[in-house]
Structure 1
Amino acid sequence: MTRIGQDIHDDLCQDLAALGMLAATLESTLKKTELTGAQQLARHISESALKSAYTAKQIARDLFPSDLQDNGLTASVMQLVKSKNITDGGRIALEIQPHFQVDDTQMAIQLYRIIQEALNNAIKHAHANHITVRLQSDKQSITVEVADDGVGFEVRKGKAASGMGMKILTYRANLIGGSLNVSSSPEGTVVSCTVTLQEGV
């Protein structure tokens, strides 16, 4: 996922942006002529290429949150929520407990992916009016949570776990020794992951 995300960001996004700029240059040149149809086509190509570059950039960010290592989990989740609010209508709130911090890089990556997966599921399937992402910690544990007021679903455990998404969430929690908890009803769904910290962590 990291390699694909980097390739999309470094190569595809740059190529699409360059294509958009070339089309914009062509449109500017065509303005000096009477080729109105060609001018409109060049504008359409430019706008489509730049829009595709933005979409590819968002996909790359989902695959590879490049700011995670540089700026930490909190900043990355803030950016994730901001991007989802822009593209999905501004119904996601973020609550961060003061002094919340995750120093372990692998733990931060898996917690980010859990939030990302749960948030995507809530946006796509819950039909929620409001979604809240919470980041909490104390000396004993770190907890991340995504809660929505959507339609809910039947929670199954073990081998009958509901869909690939739930299996992935459980797998990611297990990778960092965390405990995944999912509760759902017709009033909404809460997905949380808690990691108990070892003494001195």
Structure 2
Amino acid sequence: MEGKVILLVIIGTIGVMLMAFSVVFFVLLYRRKMLENQLKMHEVESRHQQEMLNATLRSQEEERNRLGTELHDGVGAMLSSIKLNLQVAKRKEGVDSLNPVLGHLDETISQVRSISHQMMPIILKKYGLKHAISDLFEKVSSNLLDSSIVHWDDPNLKEEDALMLYRIVQELLNNSIKHAEASVITFSIQRTPTELIFEYADNGKGYPHEILKNSDGMGLLNIKNRSQAIGAIPTFSNGEDRGSKVNLAIALPIG
């Protein structure tokens, strides 16, 4: 009789332990499922945010192209027409007082053309990314500033990705000239077996510590957003003595 009681106790204990293990197993399984669902939701949310960001950037570029076209074809054409009429009037009437007006008009036409080309980089569509970036550097180079491409492995980017990289270089160039007071700027693209590496460097004052720490300056935020749009991971750093460097890395497909 006593042996039966002990057997029942053992069986009951085993049953309780199995039930406890079952409860723990199902709790862990439930938590795992919840975690997987949360990760999926986060992934979907991140993907949605990235899609929204990409859509916003594309919309901005479309608006820039529209405004650039209107400036070039509309305002630019009207100014050229006014200039032509004034030149005809000057020849007919011999009015030398129109010379200053024509000079100001030439300057205005040049500025409108420059702004329209910045808003819709025609050279990028016609001749490609390398020529477009070289053109940017040529326009800012002077006796006080030397800017150049030091290495170029063709990145073979899609048109809209090339435009994003062009805008990134524009933003970096603007920072170097306006804020960093740089005298030397270099840019390179190198292809490794696993990634494309874009490197922009200057010898200016470098990024302020707080902005570099948080990467939250307006210029850096624009660069980060555009980098994400082309699948690049940006890193910002200052030199030991002087200057700053921005690296963008894009993972290449394997095989």
Instruction: Note the residue ranges of structure 2 that are not aligned, 5 or more in a row.
Output: 1-63
1:121-145 alpha-carbon deviations (Å, 9 max, x no partner): 1011111121122233344322323
Amino acid at match of 1:12: V
- Structure ranking higher on relative contact order (CA contacts 8 Å, 6+ apart): 1
- Contact 2:212-2:237 within 8 A present in 1 as well: no
Q: Distance in 2 between the 1:27 and 1:89 partners?
A: 40
Conserved? CA contact 1:5–1:63, under 8 Å: yes
TM-score normalised per structure 1: 0.82
AA in 1 matched with 2:148: A
Residues 232 and 249 in structure 2, CA contact (< 8 A), matched pair in contact too: yes
Of 176, 182, 188, which aligns to 2:236?
182
Separation in structure 1 between the aligned mates of residue 110 and residue 144 of structure 2, nearest angstrom: 17
Quick one: distance in 2 between partners of 1:192 and 1:46? Answer: 46
Please name the residue that 1:46 is paired with.
102
- With 116-125 and 129-138 compared, the bigger mean Cα shift is at 129-138
Which residue of the partner structure matches residue 35 of structure 1?
none
Q: String of CA shifts for 1:61-119, please: whole Å, max 9, x gaps.
A: 22111232332211211222122226x9652122232x423231222111111111101
Match runs of 1:37-186 below 5 Å: 39-40=96-97, 42-85=98-141, 90-97=145-152, 99-156=153-210, 160-185=214-239
What is the CA-CA distance between 1:168 and the residue it aligns to? 0.4
How far, CA to CA, are the matches of 1:129 and 1:119 in structure 2? Answer: 11
What is the alpha-carbon distance in structure 2 between the residues aligned to residue 23 and residue 137 of structure 1? 54
1:21: how far off? Answer: 2.7
Q: Report the 3-state secondary structure (helix = DSSP H, G, I; strand = E; otherwise coil) of the residue aligned with 2:183.
A: coil
SS in 1 for 2:162: helix
User: Matched residue of 1:114: which SS?
Assistant: helix
The residue matched to 2:208 in structure 1 has which SS? coil
2:249 aligned to 184, 189, 194, which one?
A: 194
Q: C-alpha displacement at 1:53, in angstroms? A: 1.4
Aligned equivalents of 2:213, 2:151: Cα separation in 1: 34
Greater Cα shift, 173-182 or 155-164: 155-164
Aligned length: 191
RMSD: 2.5
Q: Is the 8 A contact 1:178 1:195 kept in 2?
A: yes
Q: Which residue of 2 aligns with 1:9?
A: 72
Preserved contact between residue 91 and residue 130 of structure 1 (Cα < 8 Å) = yes
Larger displacement relative to structure 2 (10-19 or 170-179): 10-19
- Looking at structure 2, the residues matched to 145 and 43 of structure 1 have their Cα atoms a distance apart, in angstroms, of 47
Identity within the alignment, %: 24
Structure 1 gap segments, 5+ residues each:
32-37
Offset of residue 155 of structure 1: 4.5
With the length of structure 2 as denominator, give the TM-score of the two structures: 0.66
Structure 1 11/159 Cα, relative in aligned 2: closer, same or farther at 3 Å? farther
Q: Per the alignment, in what secondary structure is the counterpart of residue 112 of structure 1?
A: helix
Distance 1:126 1:198 in 2: 36
Is the Cα–Cα contact under 8 Å of residues 101 and 137 in structure 1 kept in the other structure? Answer: yes
Aligned AA (1:2): N
